[in-house]
Amino acid sequence: QILNLYQPDELQPEAIEGELAIPFMALRNHIHELSTEIVYAVRGPASPKINLLGAYLLNEAGHTAYVLAADPA
């Protein structure tokens, strides 16, 4: 499952079909609502640190999460 973490003031990237978009600041409050049976691939529009922190929070909460690599182009 692709998880798009975003900041409200950032320009959103083109949506990927089937992704779940969550404001980064809401992740901690709603992390328990996400299934631990699903592997998450975290992406975000501009800040790689947000993606890394989001994946870290998910993993610490018992989920399996990875960060999608940025497009080098």
Domains in the chain, start-ordered, CATH in brackets? 2-67 (3.40.250.10)
**pLDDT at residue 73 greater than cutoff 60:** no
CA distance linking residue 68 with residue 19, whole number of Å: 13
Instruction: Say yes or no to pLDDT of 53 above 90.
Output: yes
Q: Write down the pLDDT at residue 11.
A: 65
Banded pLDDT at 69 (limits 50, 70, 90):
confident
What pLDDT sits at residue 61?
97
Identity at 63, one-letter amino acid code? H
Is the per-residue pLDDT at 48 higher than 90?
no
Backbone angles phi, psi at 46, to 5 degrees: -135, -35
Residue pair 28/11 in contact by the 8 Å Cβ criterion: no
